[in-house]
Amino acid sequence: MAQAPVTSIFMHGRPVDILRLELAQPALQGNKYYKLKYNLEHMRAAGYHALMTFGGVFSNHIHATAIACKNAGIQGIAVLRGEDDPGNPTLQFIRAQGMETLFINREKYRLRNMTSFVEELSSTYGNVYVLPEGGTNALAVKGCSEILEGRVQDYDHIFCAVGTGGTISGIISTPGLKAEVTGIAVLKGEKDTLTPYVNSLIGDVHIPWRINFDHHFGGYAKFNPALMDYIEKFTSTHQIKPDPVYTAKVFYAVDDMISKNKIPEGQRILCIHTGGLQGWDGWHYRFKKQDTSAAS
Ligand SMILES: *Cc1c(COP(=O)(O)O)cnc(C)c1O
């Protein structure tokens, strides 16, 4: 794939580069292209004809996987947390790609990583490749270790959003990278599980990295007026549109850290725009009664 462009902006007078994965693959949602790349290659080589994966009903991962399956001529099956809703734009989209949908309640969804449960779900589909929630596995990490290709020497401090932790694991594992890596967690309460999980995915890597849990705004897809104002200003000032669930919190966090002098002077900073713009459709659908018009 062609290298994603970088846009240079300023935050409080400090230069900050934004890696524009949202431009490189607008349909495949930025980081999701990299997470799926080697999984699809493996599926093809091993002769699987169907892919089953897990997520929420507005999930960027499910959206991207639906496109990838259609492109590859594979039957996609989405196991979704919650209930069907014909008005949901993400569900409408994935069905239009030919993806099958299977809804399970929250209780059952907790079993999503249990082998016996997954086998039970997938048994009716025959030879089906199972991709965990968010698409995170070793092959996804391998794909994400290519996100910084060609830019490995260019930065001292790299910031990205953390959901399941697959993307940051790939960034940390980038061959030859010497930079510091900070992930901004977009979920609350994952403090005790995410760091050991990322450790298990990266293996023997010795660059400084951490996950920051101070900027999730109350949890996954939670927001407040300050975040919505920030998105509006950021979009109009820089002509770069963040997504509301992941990258908005990263840009906000880096801006905040710079303003509080928490990033050492002189460090060359890169923020990764991991995509997720399809999330706006679901966002407006869910929150249409609240005022998110500022970010439309
Ligand atoms: C899925 C997603 C992430 C999180 O990636 P993980 O590998 O799950 O940590 C970050 N940003 C965007 C826009 C996403 O869609």
E strand map for the chain: 6-11, 14-20, 50-56, 75-81, 100-104, 128-131, 157-162, 180-185, 209-212, 269-273
Across the chain, what does the average pLDDT equal?
A: 93
Helices and strands, counts by H and E, the chain: 12, 10
Which of 22-36, 40-54, 105-119, 194-208 is least confident? 22-36
pLDDT in the model for residue 1:
59
Residues having CB closer than 6 A to ligand 1 are 29-31, 60-61, 134, 136, 161-167, 243, 246-247, 274-276
* 250-289 residue pLDDT tens: 999 999 999 999 999 999 999 999 999 999 999 999 987 5
For ligand 1, atom 3, name the residue with the nearest CA.
163
> Which strand ranges, in their side-by-side order, compose the sheet holding 269-273?
6-11, 14-20, 269-273, 157-162, 180-185, 209-212
Q: Look-up: residue for tokens 């082998």? A: 115
Closest atom of ligand 1 relative to the 30 alpha carbon: 13
Q: How far is the CA of 102 from the centre of ligand 1 (A)?
A: 22
Confidence of residue 203 (pLDDT cuts 50, 70, 90): confident
pLDDT in the model for residue 40:
96
Q: How far is the CA of 84 from the centre of ligand 1 (A)?
A: 23
Give yes or no for residue 293 having a pLDDT over 90.
no
Confidence of residue 290 (pLDDT cuts 50, 70, 90): low
